[in-house]
Amino acid sequence: MRSDRDSERNHPLNRCLVFDFDGTLADTLGEGLNIYNDLARENGYTVIDPEDVENLRNLDTKRLLKHLGIPKRKVAFHLATAMRRLRGRIGKLSLIKGVREVLPALRERSEHMGILSSNVTENIEAFLNAHGIREEFTFISSIRKLSGKARHLRAIARTFSLNPREILYVGDEIRDLRAARKARVKAVAVTWGFNSRESLAREGPSFLVEHPRELLDVV
């Protein structure tokens, strides 16, 4: 009889698995909402009532920014401010339930496993170290803005001499799936993050998963 470890070793090796961070690995939604509302009050943008979050989960980034009244030219500045405010709180936030249990197997089945996020490297490192999972990831890539993930996915392919189709990008937002499609990377949509299951499904991801353990069937 083969052990679970033997089964993992005999599983076909995936070339590269890349995760988004916020909402995919880290449960940052609640704290992110608090920080956003503080910024909204300071700058005269629309404050988000927790009861409105479910409706906002159906919007892509462009429609969300329009709804909130945030000028596109201000996004990078406000994002940087939000990341600084998050830094002192990041280590206290929770890992998405079920992620810890599957990471070792996913790492063993992948030549490279990393993170591509619009959060800053310092926050990601602090969170991973706080939860004792930094060693599971071979790289962290931060873009420090809401757009540009496609370009960075292509850069990851070049760095590791990969065909883009040998990369899986796991994300919880419409913009993650669109970036993957633009970079010709296979997209794995997870339903436990920001965007709703229905809005993610409309983007036609390669895989749509409801729980972290389902990632083991993908990789």
Rounded to whole angstroms, the Cα distance separating 55 from 209 reads: 21
Catalytic residue check, 60: no
For residue 156, the cross-strand partners are none
Instruction: Show the tokens assigned to 65.
Output: 């920014």
| 3-class DSSP assignment, residue 29 | helix
Would you call 49 helix, strand, or coil by DSSP?
A: coil
CB 114 within 8 A of CB 156: yes
Amino acid present at 38: D
* Among the listed residues 146, 145, 150, 125, the one whose alpha carbon sits nearest the alpha carbon of residue 135: 125
Which of 4, 20, 60, 176 is the catalytic position?
A: 20
User: Angle 121-130/75-87 helices, nearest 10 degrees?
Assistant: 30
* 26 within 8 A of 127, measured Cβ to Cβ: yes
Active site residues: 20
